[in-house]
Amino acid sequence: MSFLIKQNLFQYNPSGVFIHVPKCAGTTAQAIFKKCGYRLYRKNKGYRGHLTLSETIGIMKKSFTLNSIKKMEFYIILRESTSWMESFFRYIIEKQPKVHGCKWEHENFTENGIMPYIQMTLASNGVSAQLPKHASKLPYRKLSSYISLKGFDISGIEETNVFCYEINSIDALALKLSGFQNHNCVGSLNQTSGKKILSKELLHDSEKLDRIKRQIYDYHYSEIDFADRLFSNGSYSTTFRELQ
């Protein structure tokens, strides 16, 4: 889901937008914004669901002028791809389908381990038509799709700022918002056990583990060219133009 951000109640237009990527510390980020004095809200039902940056901008164009949008700051938190898939897998098998909506995955992956999930994801190449009929789309979505603006019309808003953070460097978000690094905000709503499932399943085959982790990384981040810098530095500042 995407949230509009206001710094005070008297502000007419939002000053920013937070793109909430699933299983990327979104609940913690929301808590950080609120603790730093910001108000997060959704203008209408269109902002519900886990929207990508391009989907969010498309909705915003119906309510805000391009001049208003280009003045806003966009925030997004991303995660190392294997860690993300493990977290989503744990979410699927540890929570009930009524929580995440992935009934087919809960029924088919709980007993078979994480490898079928990974194999299905890589085989789909991000195309939902390649997935089983009753599969949910969310667990297989490329992480780069949440931030890429390839093929999207950004005329008039090319220089809009986007601030990307790696999940383990979320303190940098608190630092930017308030000047203080320690936020003491932990989102527990959708937390899972944190088990390193893939490493356990491939404990005796490190070569295969490394190969699969590289395939997962390429699947999720091959469409953006700054992923290595983001995960190396913990944060990355960009613009809509670069994301296209």
Please say whether the beta carbons of 223 and 148 come within 8 A: yes
Task: Give the type of residue at 230.
Answer: L
Q: What is the pLDDT of residues 173-228, one digit of tens each?
A: 989 988 776 666 655 445 555 667 887 888 788 899 999 999 999 999 988 999 99
Q: What is the pLDDT of residues 98-112, one digit of tens each?
A: 999 999 999 999 888
Q: Which domain holds residue 198?
A: 2-243
Tell me the backbone φ, ψ of residue 237, rounded to 5 degrees. -105, 135
Query: pTM (2 decimals)?
Result: 0.91
Q: What is the pLDDT of residues 48-97, one digit of tens each?
A: 888 999 999 999 999 999 999 999 999 999 999 999 999 999 999 999 99
Tell me the backbone φ, ψ of residue 4, rounded to 5 degrees. -85, 150
Looking at the 3D structure of the chain, how many domains does it have? 1
Give the pairing type, strands 39-41 and 161-166: unpaired
